[in-house]
Copies of this chain bind each other. A is one copy, B any other.
């Protein structure tokens, strides 16, 4: 019903009179592209547009965001005056309170970059800056997996685990994004799940990311193939990806099942520990590997249930798949902007 409403808005958008409603710009700033969307106060995405990310410094990126933002507002048909605030999800380390990107290795010229103030001047509205994984977690909370569903309850305590090249995460507690004192809260991919385990790029050993990222799953399959324990499903010499491993596991391949089960064990243990620390209502799995869908979700939930305590009956967490896909960061950034305007 929400999607239908969104389409209706887009169709009638250009004929809208100023209706007193407020709208929000959501920007997802990535290393290769900038995505911009117009979102209403209920989290519905009315229009979206993208633009390549300039590689020649901070000012060019600000100008590109400004351009794509103004154009997507035109696309949406919303009165520009009713777009009251903007939010940006950005990679790297963010100081949300000052709107500064402290460091973002994937963006050229982003060290201590005053993205919030610079964009606010261009867009002439309030701008909130948030780390991209946190923005996505807020998006799933506000308008995705955590939005009022079957039981009519809107979730305010949610953890998003993004399973891709790495394992990212964002935490929403009592409706607020947790930042920690250096903006590093939610680095759940670097919880240690196996002491003295596999090395991780971060310098630790046994990180969740070294077991449960799409890359880790693919790497284990390559290792099994190299050891002659496994025959690659593809005929060519191209590298295996996590999807191929999940497909093989679903078809009953024992080695593939062992690899998937290893990832689920690591995820289940990490989720158990997250629940003891944060007591979330819901844990949401997103990112490329979540395309594996229900089998992955069920495997992780089974590990969690096997490990969890017998105390506090009725307090168990719900496991869900992300529903916003690659719009989560954009919608979440708009949601954070909306929230910042709140009562």
Interface set of A (CB-CB < 8 Å, partner B) = 93, 155-157, 171, 173-174, 176, 178-188, 190-195, 200, 202-205, 269, 272-274, 276-281, 307-312, 315
Bound CA span A174–B177, Å: 10
- Asked if residues A274 and B277 are in contact (CB atoms below 8 Å), the reply is yes
Measured CB to CB, the closest approach of chain B to A17, in angstroms, equals 39
- Assess A187 versus B277: contact at CB under 8 Å? Given A192-B269, A203-B311: yes
CB-CB under 8 A from A180, the residues of chain B are 157, 173, 278-280
CB-CB under 8 A from A190, the residues of chain B are 276, 309
Measured CB to CB, the closest approach of chain B to A134, in angstroms, equals 12
Bound CA span A235–B155, Å: 58
Bound CA span A311–B93, Å: 11
- Asked if residues B307 and A192 are in contact (CB atoms below 8 Å), the reply is yes
Identity of the chain B residue whose Cβ is nearest the Cβ of A312 in the assembled complex: B184
- Assess A280 versus B181: contact at CB under 8 Å? Given A269-B192, A272-B192: yes
CB-CB under 8 A from A307, the residues of chain B are 192, 195, 204-205
Some 13 contacts from A to B, beta carbons below 8 A apart, are A171-B277, A173-B185, A174-B178, A180-B279, A184-B276, A185-B277, A187-B279, A190-B276, A190-B309, A191-B273, A193-B195, A203-B310, A204-B309
- Asked if residues B272 and A182 are in contact (CB atoms below 8 Å), the reply is no
- Assess A278 versus B279: contact at CB under 8 Å? Given A93-B312, A180-B157, A195-B269: no
Where chain A touches its partner, the secondary structure class is loop
Number of copies of chain A assembled together:
2
- Asked if residues A276 and B310 are in contact (CB atoms below 8 Å), the reply is no
- Asked if residues B308 and A204 are in contact (CB atoms below 8 Å), the reply is yes
Identity of the chain B residue whose Cβ is nearest the Cβ of A156 in the assembled complex: B181
Measured CB to CB, the closest approach of chain B to A161, in angstroms, equals 12
- Assess A202 versus B309: contact at CB under 8 Å? Given A180-B157, A191-B273, A315-B182: yes
CB-CB under 8 A from A183, the residues of chain B are 279
Measured CB to CB, the closest approach of chain B to A144, in angstroms, equals 17
Bound CA span A174–B175, Å: 14
- Asked if residues A181 and B204 are in contact (CB atoms below 8 Å), the reply is no
CB-CB under 8 A from A191, the residues of chain B are 273, 276-277
Bound CA span A187–B308, Å: 13
- Asked if residues A276 and B187 are in contact (CB atoms below 8 Å), the reply is yes
CB-CB under 8 A from A93, the residues of chain B are 312
Bound CA span A203–B289, Å: 31
Identity of the chain B residue whose Cβ is nearest the Cβ of A190 in the assembled complex: B276
- Asked if residues B276 and A277 are in contact (CB atoms below 8 Å), the reply is no
Bound CA span A276–B133, Å: 14
CB-CB under 8 A from A179, the residues of chain B are 174, 279
Bound CA span A186–B278, Å: 6
Bound CA span A181–B156, Å: 8
The 8 closest A-B pairs by CB, nearest first: A180-B279, A203-B310, A202-B309, A184-B279, A157-B181, A185-B279, A181-B281, A182-B315
Name the one of B182, B193, B200 contacting A312, with C-beta atoms under 8 angstroms. B182
- Assess A186 versus B281: contact at CB under 8 Å? Given A93-B312, A204-B307: no
Measured CB to CB, the closest approach of chain B to A203, in angstroms, equals 3
Bound CA span A203–B194, Å: 21
Name the one of B155, B204, B309 contacting A203, with C-beta atoms under 8 angstroms. B309
Identity of the chain B residue whose Cβ is nearest the Cβ of A200 in the assembled complex: B309
